[in-house]
Structure 1
């Protein structure tokens, strides 16, 4: 099958996965297809994620998509894992900075990263295997963010009435709403919200010694 909007049932998909040869996971061809699929999601959304569209963008024949991925479902799972790993790496870099919350805000408001995450979420919500992957990465990322923020507060002697775990949800939630509205060319209130976040972040800086 080649279209994500007509997902097969897990049982049917599993039955189709037999002894057919699959390309190596660390190959340049596979990476090119994943990169092309990300591009399709960014420009056309989930509805455009077909083997033919991905192949066209990767400049390969459509059958090469299925050489590396038995189905579009497998491609989506690979995208979720790749995007989740990227999110964890970005989070690790952010919380290692001198201003982890500001760095996290910049990561979360990255249109490219967040728009792909939202498209993958829309696809995953209807499949238990995909939901499980999304849940794992979301919780791992949230725990990593909260632990980093808590450690930063303790080291710098910063007091904040909002628990670190709640802060991670606030930052991600506001960023996600802004990114989603930008897709509709809506910017009303975005500057004001960004100013509120900026003031909040400034107030979290440690007092001069």
Structure 2
């Protein structure tokens, strides 16, 4: 059993509030979460242009933050991420705006820290001014795992009518679970739902997602 006072190899700190971490496949890690205002991530300064923004940073195997980026979406939140198998990362979460409902997104970032593509799912307009489960067109990604071919399997929840690529789903209850597949080029090629008359939400850990995928 390891000693409780065993020394850490390294530790880093940054601005923002982290929500998910995943290995990069080379001894380092990717971290995503949310930040607002002006925040420092290693030597990189990010400045939010919305109430809050998604951040993604890469920490090397030696404990250095070598890059950090922010999502180019209004009022976005990074919920979960995974390694893409090629040194990059796949992130999911949600974003919204003053005239648009919360929508789920999947963002692919290459190993250099450059955003490759962003896929979006969810409704296009509010059914009412305030959120009422089952009537507002909302969606949020809460869990993601690599499909082994550069794409991802994503889960989360949605309410009302939501578009997932060419597939339109309507919740049976207040909130329904969705699972969708995003290809390596950022296309949503299929989506399915599960749920009943009451509220059903998906908060899936990476271990559970791997078990389902296998």
Higher helix share: 1
TM-score for the superposition, normalised by structure 1: 0.24
TM-score for the superposition, normalised by structure 2: 0.24
Higher strand share: 2
